[in-house]
Amino acid sequence: MSAAGAETRFRYDSKGNLCFDGTWYHIYDAENRLMVSERRSDPSLACDDTTATVTERVTYAYGPSGRRLLKDNDLTSTEYLYEGDEPIADYDGPTGRLLRRYMHGARIDERALYMDYSSGELKV
C-alpha cells in the first residue's frame, strides 16, 4: 500500500526487472544491472515512456567485474570499495570521506555488522 492508502502496482520489464515501484522508475542495461532510477512527474506512464519530466535522478556505474562502483544523484555521490567479492567500505565521492565500513561473517554475502561514520553508530 502507498502512503495514501492506494495499492501500489509494481511494474516489470520484459526481462522481469522491476521498472516501477510506485515511486521510482528503474532502467537497466543489457546485463540487467540497474543503471538509472528516476522520479517522474507522471507516475501513471508505462516504464519505457520518457515523456514525463524527471524530478529526481540517480545513476549507477559498474566496473569490469560487474560490481557497482558508484551511485550519483547530482547532490551526492557514493563510491564503493570491495575486497574480492565483498563490499568493505562506502566513501563520499567528492571528499573521499569514509561513510560506512562493513564487517562480514563466515558465509558468502553475510554482512555481520557495519559502522556508520556519519552517525557514529555500529549497526547489525
pLDDT in tens, 49-72: 888 899 999 999 999 999 999 999
**Cα angle, residue 92 at apex, residues 88 and 94 outer, rounded to 5°:** 140
Within-domain flag for 68? no
Contact 80, 70 (CB under 8 A): yes
pLDDT at position 32 is 96
Q: What is the mean pLDDT of the chain?
A: 89
18 forms beta bridges with 12
Alpha carbons 55 and 52: distance in angstroms, whole number: 9
Place of cell 545513476: 59
Q: First and final CA of the chain: distance in angstroms?
A: 28
Mean pLDDT of 78-94: 92
Whether 57 and 82 map to the same domain: the answer is no
Give residue 49's domain range. 9-62
Confidence at 6, pLDDT banded by 50, 70, 90: low
Contact 102, 95 (CB under 8 A): no
At 101-120, the pLDDT tens digits run: 999 888 877 878 889 998 88
Whether 53 and 85 map to the same domain: the answer is no
Last residue of a domain, one of 35, 62, 89: 62
Whether 22 and 50 map to the same domain: the answer is yes
- Taking the whole predicted model, whether its pTM rises above 0.85 is answered as no
What is the number of structural domains in the chain?
A: 2
